[in-house]
C-alpha cells in the first residue's frame, strides 16, 4: 500500500525546533500552511545533517556559472525565523529515512521525511521476507511521508535555524567531546589526565 503523503509546496513556515530543556529535548520538523500544521519528530543528528546537506546543495547550485537560480550566499534577513514552534506540537510520526532533492522544473528544494516503519513480525507475509547472504531483509514501505518543497532563500533560512537550534543545547566538553551538565567529569582514555 502506498504511503500517506503530507505534501506542502512553498509553505508559510518550515522549521526545526525543540520541545523540552537541553539534555532532554525532542527535535521536530514543523511545517505550516494557513491553519494546517504538521510536526514530525527526528533525531538531533538528522536535523544537523539535513542543514549541512541543504547548504551543500545550495552552494553547488550557487557556484553554477552566473548563479542561474539566484541562490543567496547567506540567510536573507527577512526570512530568519526565531519564533517557537507553532502550537499544538503533535507528533505525526517519527522520521526515519530522509531525502533531499532539487526540482529543476520549479527551482526548489524537496525535503522528504519517511515514517519509521514498525514491524509486527508475526503478521508479515512470507513474500515480504527475503534471506540474502545470511541477512533477513524485509521489504517495507513507510505508512506516511512528509514532503516539503521550498525556494532557495527559505532553504538557507531553514538550514541556519536548524544549526542554531542544534547548537543551543548543552555545551560540549573540549576534552572528551561529551555534553557537559551538572558536575561534569571527563572520562578520558587511559594515559590522559
For 107-136, give one letter per residue: b (16+ CB within 10 A) or e.
ebbbbbbbbeeeeeeeeeeeeeeeeeeeee
Task: Check residue 191 and give its pLDDT.
Answer: 64
Each of the 193 residues of the chain gets a pLDDT tens digit; together they read 688 999 999 999 999 999 998 888 999 999 999 999 999 999 999 999 999 999 999 999 999 999 999 999 999 999 999 999 999 999 999 999 999 999 999 999 999 999 997 766 666 666 656 667 766 666 667 889 999 999 999 999 999 999 999 998 777 777 777 777 767 777 766 666 5
Task: Check residue 124 and give its pLDDT.
Answer: 63
Task: Check residue 66 and give its pLDDT.
Answer: 93
Task: Check residue 184 and give its pLDDT.
Answer: 75
Task: Check residue 190 and give its pLDDT.
Answer: 67
Task: Check residue 189 and give its pLDDT.
Answer: 65
**Coil/strand/helix, residue 57:** helix
Task: Check residue 188 and give its pLDDT.
Answer: 66
Task: Check residue 176 and give its pLDDT.
Answer: 75
Task: Check residue 59 and give its pLDDT.
Answer: 97
Q: Got the DSSP string for 58-103?
A: HHHHHTSTT-TT---SS--GGG---PPPPSP--EEEEEEEEEEEEE
The distance of Cα 138 from the centroid of its chain, to the nearest Å, equals 25
Amino acid at each position: 500500500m502506498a504511503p500517506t503523503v503530507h505534501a506542502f509546496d512553498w509553505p508559510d513556515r518550515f522549521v526545526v525546533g525543540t520541545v523540552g530543556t537541553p539534555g532532554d529535548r525532542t527535535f521536530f520538523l514543523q511545517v505550516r500552511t494557513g491553519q494546517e500544521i504538521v510536526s514530525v519528530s527526528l533525531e538531533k543528528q538528522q536535523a544537523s545533517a539535513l542543514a549541512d546537506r541543504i547548504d551543500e546543495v545550495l552552494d553547488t547550485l550557487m557556484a553554477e556559472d552566473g548563479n542561474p537560480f539566484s541562490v543567496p550566499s547567506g540567510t536573507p534577513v527577512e526570512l530568519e525565523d526565531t519564533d517557537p514552534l507553532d502550537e499544538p506540537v503533535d507528533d505525526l510520526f517519527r522520521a526515519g529515512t530522509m531525502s533531499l532533492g532539487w526540482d529543476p522544473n520549479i527551482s526548489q528544494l524537496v525535503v522528504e521525511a519517511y515514517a519509521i516503519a514498525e514491524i509486527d513480525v508475526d503478521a508479515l507475509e512470507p513474500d515480504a521476507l527475503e534471506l540474502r547472504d545470511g541477512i533477513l531483509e524485509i521489504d517495507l514501505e513507510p505508512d506516511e511521508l512528509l514532503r516539503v518543497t521550498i525556494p532557495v532563500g527559505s532553504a538557507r533560512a531553514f538550514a541556519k535555524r536548524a544549526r542554531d537550534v542544534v547548537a543551543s543545547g548543552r555545551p560540549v566538553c573540549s576534552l572528551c567531546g561529551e555534553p557537559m551538565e551538572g558536575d561534569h567529569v571527563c572520562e578520558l582514555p587511559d594515559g590522559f589526565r
